Amino acid sequence: MVEPPDTITLRRPDDWHVHLRDGEMLAMVLPFTARRFARAIVMPNLLPPVRTVATAIGYRRRIMAALAAGADFTPLMTCYLTDGTDPQEIARGYRDGAFTAVKLYPARATTNSQFGVTDYDRIMPVLECLTDLGMPLLVHGEVTDPEVDVFDREAVFIERVLGPLRRRLPELRIVLEHITTTQAVDYVSCGDANLAATITAHHLVINRNAIFAGGIQPHLYCLPIAKRDRDRRALRRAATSGNPKFFLGTDSAPHAIPAKEAAVGCAGIFTAPCALEIYTEVFDEEGALDRLEAFAALNGPEFYRLAPNEGRITLQRKPALVPKRIGQASAAVVPFRAGEEVRWRLAE
Ligand code: DOR
Ligand code: ZN
């Protein structure tokens, strides 16, 4: 038997879904992402959201200004879609390179989604414009109908919204973000090349039991919420399969401790300090380290029609302790796996 390697060198990966926030929180969380990933698709759900070319350019400047000297990191900006988005603004932003993709939040599906889409007919002109441009639409795939069980919201979204939308606009290029269910894995696997999906690190390692183990665990609450263990196993098979339709998107989503440990806590798991290491751990456990580079550094660029990165990153099989908290005072955040070991770390 061939022993698994103790170090692995990959092309530098990209994070195709991350929340970098703004201000003090941006300064605190950005180094974790920039150290590991060469590029990242930056979510636009600030308050107010990033809805115009001008705000995207301003936000990108603040991200660049927050980078350490010499950091090699490129933020790829997204536009928050509303019922009133002007297709001209999107087309202009895409042609100028201010926007890489458009993000669709169904209204009230998650954090800061109150300006999101309420009427799919009203966004058809934008979706037709994206189709013509070949510009990706990134979808938070959950229905918000309160009658639908929280754990079924992704599967019902595929049935009620995504299926009909794909039939109406088969050439629209869609990324179904942070998939959590067997249904999503099957739906994306069976789709054509215009459909892809991102998979988070946390959904590869926790199921819904973890959210309630020993009492409610607010730091494991995110949306879409983790599902059954059979779903987690389907996600692991998809991620490690080598299928180019699946790629890395951490959905690292920091919230300060008081916003998580509250009577009504925010959704979001802050994985940036250890997500790449956890993906490596998972691929190692699945005997698929030889497929990690495709998932982390090749499949995403291929879908986004960008060149893969030329730089390299090395990970080492050597346990590293994740800090119990990161940041200061009221801005501190509890990272995923806080106070626990991850079995891989970045080489110096
Ligand atoms: O858990 C989540 N947190 N899911 C999202 O869709 C948004 C994110 C956030 O911005 O905190
Ligand atoms: Zn997200």
Q: What is the pLDDT of residues 155-180, one digit of tens each?
A: 999 999 999 999 999 999 999 999 99
User: 15, 231, 251, 284: which one is catalytic?
Assistant: 251
Ligand nearest to the CA of 16: 2
Give the relative orientation of helices 124-133 and 87-96 as an angle to the nearest 10 degrees.
20
In short, whether 253's Cβ falls inside 6 Å of ligand 1 is: yes
- Specify the pLDDT at position 331: 87
- Specify the pLDDT at position 40: 99
Ligand 1 centroid vs 90 CA: distance in angstroms? 23
**Rounded Cα gap, residues 326 and 274, in angstroms:** 12
Q: What is the pTM of this model?
A: 0.98
Q: Are 313 and 35 contacting, i.e. CB atoms less than 8 angstroms apart?
A: no
**Rounded Cα gap, residues 176 and 347, in angstroms:** 32
In short, whether 224's Cβ falls inside 6 Å of ligand 1 is: no
> 231 lies in which domain range?
13-306
- Specify the pLDDT at position 1: 67
The count of domains in the chain is 1
pLDDT at 2 over 80: no
Mean pLDDT value across residues 128-145: 98
**Rounded Cα gap, residues 140 and 224, in angstroms:** 8
pLDDT band at 109 (very low <50, low <70, confident <90, very high): confident
Instruction: Indicate whether 41 belongs to any domain.
Output: yes
Mean pLDDT value across residues 97-103: 98
Ligand nearest to the CA of 21: 1
- Antiparallel, parallel or unpaired: β 341-342 and 312-316: unpaired
Instruction: Indicate whether 314 belongs to any domain.
Output: no
- Specify the pLDDT at position 51: 98
Instruction: Indicate whether 133 belongs to any domain.
Output: yes
Instruction: Indicate whether 344 belongs to any domain.
Output: no
Alpha helices in 7-162 (DSSP H): 23-36, 53-66, 87-96, 124-133, 153-157
- Specify the pLDDT at position 262: 96
Helix (H, G, I), strand (E, B) or coil at 242: coil
pLDDT at 207 over 70: yes
Instruction: Give the closest residue (by CA) to ligand 1 atom 10.
Output: 111
- Antiparallel, parallel or unpaired: β 137-139 and 174-176: parallel
Ligand 2 centroid vs 116 CA: distance in angstroms? 14
Ligand 1 site-directed mutation target among 217, 223, 250, most atoms within 8 Å of CB: 223
In short, whether 333's Cβ falls inside 6 Å of ligand 1 is: no
Instruction: Indicate whether 336 belongs to any domain.
Output: no
In Å, the largest CA–CA distance within the chain is 59
Question: 232 phi and psi, to 5 degrees?
Answer: -55, -45
pLDDT higher at 1 or 133: 133
3-state helix, strand, coil in the chain (%, to 5): 40, 15, 45
Reading the block at residue 164, the tokens are 């009909």
Instruction: Indicate whether 335 belongs to any domain.
Output: no
Helix (H, G, I), strand (E, B) or coil at 262: coil
Ligand 2 centroid vs 46 CA: distance in angstroms? 11
- In the chain, % of residues over pLDDT 90: 95
Q: Which residues are in the CB-under-5-Å shell of ion ligand 2?
A: 251
Instruction: Indicate whether 279 belongs to any domain.
Output: yes
Instruction: Indicate whether 316 belongs to any domain.
Output: no
Instruction: Give the closest residue (by CA) to ligand 1 atom 8.
Output: 268
Dihedral angle computed from the Cα positions of residues 68, 74, 75 and 78, in that order, rounded to the nearest 10 degrees = 170
Q: Which residue has the tokens 């002007």?
A: 86
> 43: domain CATH number?
3.20.20.140
Mean pLDDT value across residues 97-119: 93
Query: 245-280 as b/e, with b when 16 or more CB fall inside 10 Å?
Result: bbbbbbbbbbbbbebbeeeeebbbbbbbbbbbbbbb
Range with lowest mean pLDDT among 107-121, 197-211, 233-247, 296-310:
107-121
Ligand 1 centroid vs 211 CA: distance in angstroms? 16
251 part of the active site = yes
pLDDT at 329 over 90: no
Taking all residues of the chain, what is their mean pLDDT, rounded to a whole number? 97
